[in-house]
C-alpha cells in the first residue's frame, strides 16, 4: 500500500519497438516483484501453440500491424483479473491505442487498482533499427540478447535456461519500418492521455540498461 492508501503499484512501460521495454521489464520485475504483463509475449505464445487467437494474431504481428483491440483487451482483462489485489502489475506493450488505454482505466478502476506511473522510454529511429535487427530472443524464457551488444556465452543458446535463441519474424527490416509507422500513428497519441493525468515520466533509452533501470527505480521510489 502506498502513502495515499492505494493498493496497487501498477506501472506502464511505454516506448517504440526496440526501446528496451522487455529488458527493463525483466530488471524491474526481478527487483520489485511485479507481475510482468507483456501482450507481445502472450500473443507470441498463442501463435506458437497455434490457438485460434494465435492464428488470428499472426496475420497482424508478421506484418507489423496491431492486433485488433477487442482481442488484446480480452487477454489483458483475464490476466489482470488473476493478479492478487496487492501485487503490482507492470504493463509492457499495452496499451497501444487510445481505446486500449480507456479500457485499461476501466478494468483497473473496477479492481480497485490504479496506474502509478507511465514510464516513456525515448529512443531515435536509427538506434531502434540496429537494436531490433540484431535482437535475439529465447524461445523458452523470452530473455533478450543482441548479437553485437549483448551476446549469449554460447551462440544461439540462452545463458539462463539453455533454450534456443531465435530472431523474431517481425524483427526483419521491412517489418520494423511498418512497426515504427504503426507506433507513431496509433500508439504515440496514447501518451497525451497519460500526460493529461500527470502520470507521464520520460527517460532516455540510449542509456546502458542497468543505468536506465536505476533511473526508473528512482522515479518509482
Ligand atoms: P511486442 O513484443 O510488444 O513488440 O509486440 C509484438 C507484436 O504483437 C506487435 O507488433 C503487435 O502486432 C502485437 N501486439 C503486442 N501488443 C499489442 C497491443 N497492445 N495491441 C495490439 N497489438 C499488440
For the chain, give the percent of residues with pLDDT over 70.
95
Q: Which residue, 117, 62, 113, 125, is CA-closest to 84?
A: 113
Q: Which of 20, 54, 57, 61 to mutate to test the pocket of ligand 1 (most atoms within 8 A of CB)?
A: 61
Going by pLDDT thresholds of 50, 70 and 90, the confidence category of residue 106 is very high
For the CA of 76, the closest atom of ligand 1 is 19
In this prediction, residue 182 carries a pLDDT of 95
DSSP class of 19: S
Q: From the candidates 168, 172, 201, 207, give the one annotated as an active-site residue.
A: 168
- What are the tens digits of pLDDT across the range 40-53? 999 999 999 999 99
Model confidence, pTM: 0.91
d(CA 145, CA 20): 11
Asked whether the predicted pLDDT for residue 4 surpasses 70, the reply is no
Q: Which three cell numbers stand for residue 54?
A: 494465435
Amino acid at each position: 500500500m502506498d502513502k495515499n492508501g492505494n493498493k496497487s503499484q501498477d506501472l506502464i512501460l511505454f516506448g517504440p519497438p526496440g526501446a528496451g521495454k522487455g529488458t527493463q521489464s525483466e530488471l524491474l520485475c526481478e527487483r520489485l516483484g511485479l507481475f510482468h504483463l507483456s501482450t507481445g509475449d502472450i500473443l507470441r505464445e498463442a501463435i506458437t501453440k497455434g490457438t485460434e487467437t494465435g492464428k488470428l494474431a499472426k496475420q497482424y504481428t508478421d506484418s507489423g500491424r496491431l492486433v485488433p483491440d477487442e482481442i488484446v483487451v480480452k487477454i489483458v482483462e483475464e490476466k489482470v483479473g488473476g493478479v492478487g489485489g496487492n501485487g503490482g502489475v507492470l504493463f509492457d506493450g499495452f496499451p497501444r491505442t487510445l481505446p486500449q488505454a480507456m479500457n485499461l482505466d476501466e478494468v483497473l478502476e473496477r479492481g480497485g487498482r490504479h496506474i502509478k506511473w507511465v514510464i516513456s522510454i525515448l529512443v531515435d529511429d536509427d538506434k531502434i533499427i540496429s537494436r531490433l535487427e540484431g535482437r535475439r530472443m529465447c524461445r523458452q524464457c523470452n530473455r533478450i540478447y543482441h548479437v553485437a551488444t549483448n551476446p549469449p556465452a554460447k551462440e544461439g543458446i540462452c545463458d539462463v535456461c539453455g533454450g534456443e535463441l531465435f530472431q523474431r519474424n517481425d524483427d526483419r527490416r521491412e517489418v520494423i519500418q511498418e512497426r515504427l509507422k504503426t507506433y507513431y500513428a496509433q500508439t504515440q497519441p496514447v501518451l497525451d492521455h497519460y500526460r493529461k493525468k500527470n502520470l507521464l515520466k520520460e527517460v532516455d533509452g540510449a542509456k546502458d540498461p542497468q543505468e536506465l533501470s536505476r533511473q526508473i527505480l528512482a522515479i518509482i521510489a
